[in-house]
Every structure is written in C-alpha cells, then in structure tokens.
Amino acid sequence: MVFRQILCLAFLTSLAVPPSFAQTRGPFNPASKGYEFYSWPDSEGSWNFCILYGTNREKVTEEVFSKKTLLPGLDALKHKISELPGGTHVFWASRIPSGSGPRAKGSESLVYPPLDIREQVIAYAKKHHVEVEVTDKTP
C-alpha cells in the first residue's frame, strides 16, 4: 500500500516538472538548432569568443561582437561551455556569411585560434557532453 502511494506520488511529481526544465542546467535553454560559436584575437594576442543560439537567420556583426555576449579568454569560454546542456551541438564558424558575399562586412577579424587551442576547446566541451563542430576545416 505504501509502495503504491510512493509510486503514485513520484509519477504525479514527474508530470508537474516540464521535461525541458529537467534537461537544462545553467542559464541556457536547449536549442534545437544548436549554438553558433565565433572566435577572434584581441589587440594583445589573447582570444575572444562568442556563443549564440542557432537560428534560421544569419547573425549580424553587432550580435557577435556585442559586449553582452563577449567571452574574453579561454576561462570565460570554458565557463560558458560548462553551462550548456549535455548533448548540445555547437557550430564553430570562422566567418559570418552574407547574402551579398562570403563574409558579412565587419566580420573580417573572425578566425580560428591555433590548432592547439581549438583542440583544447573541443576536448573540454567533449568532457561536458557538448559537441563542437568546426564548420570550415581550413586553418
């Protein structure tokens, strides 16, 4: 009798918690389109990063280079990656495409960091069950 009550209570509790709540951790929501990830060097030789929700529309440079989304350095990037839900897919791009050309105006500074940094980021993400896909295989 007590076992049935506990089982019933557990079932009703699981109905009260939406599945999306149970799957998230940190401030991010799981995005069905994944995330877009950009990188660029700063004037002192360090690296800046930005992770944005994936959408059907092309990003504009103001979104990527916004101080609100800026992740200065590897430590800030790793912290953000650790907040992503497990199973997240992140597309790392070296450019913002443009309907009128290969790169959106103002995004010329977007590049990948050296291979050792890329490998470090990808390995760290993997430990957190986040898949990072480098979209352009050229250095």
pLDDT by 10-residue block (mean), the chain, 139 residues = 42 40 41 82 93 86 92 96 94 77 72 95 97 79
Contact (Cβ atoms closer than 8 angstroms) between residue 120 and residue 76: no
State the pLDDT at residue 9. 40
- Distance, in Å, from the CA atom of 29 to the CA atom of 12, rounded to the nearest integer, reads 24
State the pLDDT at residue 99. 57
State the pLDDT at residue 139. 53
Contact (Cβ atoms closer than 8 angstroms) between residue 88 and residue 32: no
Residue ranges of alpha helices (H) inside 70-138 are 74-83, 115-127
State the pLDDT at residue 14. 42
Residues, the chain, total? Answer: 139
pTM of the model as a whole: 0.71
State the pLDDT at residue 126. 97
- Distance, in Å, from the CA atom of 50 to the CA atom of 55, rounded to the nearest integer, reads 15
